[in-house]
Structure 1
Amino acid sequence: MTINAFSHNIPEKTFAKLNREGEFTRLAVSPGIINKHYTPAQFQTIAEVVGARGAIKYSASYSILLSIPTIELTTAKRKLEKVGLYIAKQGQIVAMKACDFCDGDKMEAAQITEELYQQLEGLEVPSRICINMNGCASACYNAVYDDIGLVYQKDSFDVYLGAVPMGKHAQAGELFMKKVSVQHIENLLQEIIRVYQERAYQKEPFYKFYKRTKDADFWQTIKCYENSSADSSRV
């Protein structure tokens, strides 16, 4: 039966439609970077802050998009955060997402994920970058299809760069480095972000920057430096 599957294909309250009638702000909320499970209290609060005027939309980026009257934004944020919801930062910044670590059964990379979030989330860049952390080699949350993909296995990361996430030219990122140790992954990411900040054109997406520059000497310098640092730490 398709009674509900195809009965309402065109939404009545899109973000664009709402803003023709008033001023609305969109928030992307989730239970957290790793946790993907909402509580009934969180859904109740989402319904309360959106109310009859706003709208709720499912997002492909592991979050729910809320369209809220801008005049009510401060109160709405306070209520959402009070029930433990994470509100994603917006703008031309480094953003981070992750898999659910097999619903918490494979948490080996959880600590370094939190440390990377604390150090990197919100850094200003020419165009928004998404770092996608996946906690095992299955990479079922498609880390290789984001700007910087991290796939964890055995105390190290495989690092993928330059994915084209959508469009007719969509493709996975290229393997940039294998087996980067937990101890050195932050330094590597800081260097990747630094060269993007310093050398990209204004608003140049990361995949275009990487495609334009991937044969440049500075990428090889980063690889050589990280490899030599990793080797010296094993001595």
Structure 2
Amino acid sequence: MKKLAVHPGISFGAKFTKGQLQILSKYVADSTEIELTNFQQLYIEVEDDQVEDVSAKLEAAGLNTYPVGLYVKTLRTCNFCQGAEEEGMDIAIELNRRIAGKSVPFPLRPAYTGCPNACGEPLVHDIGVVKIGETFSIYLGGKAKGLDAKMATLYKENLTEDDLYHACESVIENYEKHGKKREHFSKFLKRFGVENL
């Protein structure tokens, strides 16, 4: 059996439709428990030889599927309370498409919020993006759990949409290339140095 992460996609909150849940239930045994993660994903178990087929059927129903383990998690987002266009939902969707599921030394948790209220909690995640007006700021190294919990620090600000994508992808590429196995992102930043990203 292999675990598969299922996500409803970036929208106004993490919402599954009844139809999506009905389709999902076809691929989960009655005795199987479904785990709900804090990254708005459901973990299901699928037979190894059925992963591709089940993924394709779930994605046809509008669900996103990702591998479970040492990968970039789906982008945690705010609820876009001021509207999809104003808060940049299309940008969050594209950023998620570019980074979610990439292999990394330790699970990487990114977050996006569409305004300075920061409801998506970007300052306590590994990579946090905040949209301010028409530009974006990136924060790195937040950690929500543990006795060493800390706020992220500002990495770049006043970025355009393209600059945002490039900067996030570059940070993840450096982490994947230079991070040690099972090295948490905040420890990697301290060892590698933000200036070397």
**TM-score, normalised by the number of residues in structure 1:** 0.70
Contact 2:122 2:128 (C-alpha < 8 Å) held by counterparts: yes
**Highest CA radius of gyration, 1 or 2?**
1
Query: Do residues 90 (structure 1) and 84 (structure 2) align?
Result: no
Superimposed CA distance per residue, residues 45-89 of structure 1 (whole angstroms, 9 cap, x where no aligned partner): 222221313222222111222234446544433432232111123
Which residue of 1 is the match for residue 93 of structure 2? 114
1:97 Cα offset (Å): 0.8
The question of 1:147 aligning with 2:126 is answered yes
TM-aligned CA distance change 1:43 to 1:135, over 3 Å = same
Aligned to 1:186: 165
Which AA in structure 2 matches 1:56?
Answer: I
RMSD over aligned Cα, in angstroms?
2.6
CA separation of 1:203 and 1:152: change in aligned 2, threshold 3 A: same
Structure 1 match to 2:57: 79
- How far residue 150 of structure 1 moved from its aligned partner, in angstroms, is 0.4
What do the CA deviations read for 1:152-197 (whole angstroms, capped 9, x no partner)?
Answer: 1111122111112322222221222333232421232233234323
Give the match's secondary structure for 1:79. helix
SS of the counterpart of 2:176? Answer: helix
Q: Aligned partners of 1:61 and 1:183: how far apart in 2?
A: 25
Instruction: Give the direction of change, closer, same or farther, for the CA distance of 1:81–1:119 in structure 2 (3 Å limit).
Output: closer
AA of the residue aligned to 1:28 = A
Following the alignment from structure 1 to structure 2, what is the Cα–Cα distance between the partners of residues 51 and 87?
18
Higher helix share: 1
Residue in structure 2 matched with residue 33 of structure 1 by the alignment: 10
Structure 2 CA distance for aligned equivalents of residues 70 and 183 of structure 1: 37
Contiguous gaps of at least 5 residues in structure 1: 1-23, 220-235
Higher relative contact order (CA 8 A, sep 6+): 2
Q: How many residues align?
A: 195
* One of 39, 55, 65 as aligned partner of 2:43: 65
For residue 45 of structure 2, what is the amino acid of its counterpart?
Answer: S
Secondary structure in structure 1 of the residue aligned to 2:138: strand
Query: 1:195–1:30: structure 2 CA closer, same or farther, 3 Å change rule?
Result: closer
Which amino acid is 2:70 matched to? Q
Report the 3-state secondary structure (helix = DSSP H, G, I; strand = E; otherwise coil) of the residue aligned with 2:19: helix
The aligned runs of 1:1-235 (5 Å cut-off) are 24-34=1-11, 36-70=14-48, 72-102=50-80, 105-108=83-86, 109-214=88-193, 217-218=195-196
Tell me the distance in 2 between the aligned counterparts of 1:187 and 1:85: 26
Asked if the contact 1:94/1:124 (under 8 Å) is kept, the reply is yes
Instruction: Indicate conservation of the 8 Å contact 2:39/2:73, yes or no.
Output: no
> Per-residue deviation at 1:149?
0.4
SS of the residue aligned with 2:112?
strand
CA deviations on 1:11-39 (whole Å, 9 max, x unpaired) are: xxxxxxxxxxxxx3222212113352211
Q: TM-score, normalised by structure 2?
A: 0.82
